[in-house]
Amino acid sequence: MSFLANTLSRVKPSPTIAISTKAKDLKAEGRDIIALSAGEPDFDTPQNIKDAAIAAINSGKTKYTAPDGMPELKEAICAKFKRENSLNYTPTQVSVGTGGKQILYNALMATLNPGDEVLIPAPYWVSYPDMVLLAGGEPTFVAASIENKFKITPEALEAAITPKTKWFIFNSPSNPTGAGYTWDELRALTDVLLRHPHVWVMSDDMYEHLAYDGFKFCTPAEVEPKLYDRTLTTNGVSKAYAMTGWRIGYAAGPVELIAAMRKIQSQSTSNPCSVSQWAAVEALNGTQDYLPENNVMFKRRRDLVVSMLSEIEGVTCPTPEGAFYVYPFISGLIGKTSAGGTQITNDEAFATALLEETGVAVVFGAAFGLSPAFRVSYATSDEALKDACTRIQGFCNGLKAS
């Protein structure tokens, strides 16, 4: 009998972390590696946020806080939701965790029973299905097509809901595709959800502030206020404020759900880092001037990557509305053989050969539930992106028919 829990046999390690780790190991060996696998902005955390953290340390604000966040941060989160999303919450409706991932996990752990289904649009962030499995639920999927720019249709959502569906996870702009839903597109989905009152909505808004070409972000409870009482609206400071390592995520929702999440957190990690919480207060309450400035750079990088990858025969690369990812489809490359002798049988073989033969690390599409494709994170310098895309072009153009 294995000493380990049976639950672990249902889940796998994060593919994005595994690939990023492999890229770091190869770089440590002296290989010339360009990692486009991690979803992490290359910008430094803004100075005003760092100053707030330093001030917190110097003033001794380094003790325990309330298990799911201190009052000052919860007030800042409520103000943010009202100011930016027209959503009214009180501090008792807010939970703060050690990153957005913990917030989502706590909510699933607090609500799922064996047999409960969680509906996840595909492509999806790699952790959604495995968190559902760890919490004892069953992930089910509704596929989005490249023809619809990786956005699901109301008809597909309607068809995927069953009497066992407990949650619908919604992520816009999306990881891994960058696809963003307009107000009208989201309204069509919320109209479906109104017809199924047993389905709760988990909205992952982590990429809210990363939007381009005039795309206007919106969130489900904002579009359809009738969903307010069964929606958990989640967000964090990691992506917009370049605070990935600070580990602060948050959510707002019904008091009963937030209380259950608090109970779980009180018996697991307890409070997030106190210094990080004070930094997050400044991130939310302080100047937001750098957000549009950063977006100008992200948009330039997006356009560079889309342009260069679209030049490759056999590759289709839609232009995303937000986040900092592109998700090229490689149907035209499957079945070919690389210059190093690897047969490209699927997108995992493509990504493996690309890393080994060119030193460019990307994440294969099967990890996100829709193949054949790969994900590029363009949250790195223009120079690195040009070099990486040139290598990808050379690799793809060197593929031979088997």
- The per-residue pLDDT for range 317-376, each reduced to its tens digit, is 999 999 999 999 999 999 999 999 999 999 999 999 999 999 999 999 999 999 999 999
How far is CA 46 from each of CA 19, 41, 245, 282, 295, rounded to the nearest angstrom? Answer: 28, 12, 13, 10, 14
Q: State residue 6's pLDDT score.
A: 87
- The per-residue pLDDT for range 210-249, each reduced to its tens digit, is 999 999 999 999 999 999 999 999 999 999 999 999 999 9
Three-point CA angle 79, 83, 89, nearest 5°: 45
Q: Which one has a higher pLDDT value, 318 or 38?
A: 318
Confidence band of 129 (pLDDT split at 50, 70, 90): very high
Q: State residue 26's pLDDT score.
A: 86
Q: Which one has a higher pLDDT value, 22 or 155?
A: 155
pLDDT at 261 exceeding the cut of 90: yes
Q: What dihedral angle (degrees, nearest 10) is formed by the CA atoms of 172, 176, 178, 180?
A: -30
pLDDT mean across residues, the chain? 96
| Helices and strands: H and E segment counts in the chain | 13, 14
Q: State residue 337's pLDDT score.
A: 97
Q: State residue 8's pLDDT score.
A: 86
How far is CA 33 from each of CA 122, 211, 344, rounded to the nearest angstrom? Answer: 29, 29, 21
pTM over 0.75: yes
Provide the greatest CA pair distance for the chain: 66
- The per-residue pLDDT for range 174-195, each reduced to its tens digit, is 999 999 999 999 999 999 999 9
Confidence band of 15 (pLDDT split at 50, 70, 90): confident
Q: What dihedral angle (degrees, nearest 10) is formed by the CA atoms of 244, 323, 165, 152?
A: -170
Helix locations, 173-325, DSSP H: 183-194, 220-223, 255-266, 274-285, 290-310
- The per-residue pLDDT for range 110-128, each reduced to its tens digit, is 999 999 999 999 999 999 9
Asked whether the bond before 372 is cis by omega within 30 degrees of 0, the reply is: yes
Q: What are phi and psi of 314, to 5 degrees?
A: 95, 0
Angle between helices 100-111 and 127-134 (to 10 degrees): 40
Span 49-74, average pLDDT: 98
Confidence band of 13 (pLDDT split at 50, 70, 90): confident
The amino acid at 161 = I
Span 153-169, average pLDDT: 98
**β 360-361/34-35 pair status:** parallel
pLDDT at 38 exceeding the cut of 90: no
pLDDT at 1 exceeding the cut of 60: no
Length of the chain measured in residues: 402
Span 77-84, average pLDDT: 98
Helix locations, 86-165, DSSP H: 100-111, 127-134, 154-160
Is residue 123 a contact partner of residue 283, using CB atoms and an 8 Å limit? no
Q: Which of 114, 98, 116 is nearest to 106 (CA)?
A: 98
Instruction: Report the percent of the chain where pLDDT is more than 70.
Output: 100
The amino acid at 82 = K
How far is CA 229 from each of CA 77, 143, 198, 221, 252, rounded to the nearest angstrom? Answer: 18, 27, 12, 9, 11
Three-point CA angle 255, 175, 163, nearest 5°: 50
370/382 Cα distance (integer angstroms) = 28
Hey, what long-range contacts does 87-93 have (CB within 8 A, 24 or more apart)? 87/219, 87/221, 87/222, 87/228, 87/233, 87/252, 89/252, 92/255, 92/258, 93/252, 93/253, 93/254, 93/255, 93/258
Confidence band of 33 (pLDDT split at 50, 70, 90): very high
- The per-residue pLDDT for range 268-290, each reduced to its tens digit, is 999 999 999 999 999 999 999 99
Q: What are phi and psi of 329, to 5 degrees?
A: -90, 140
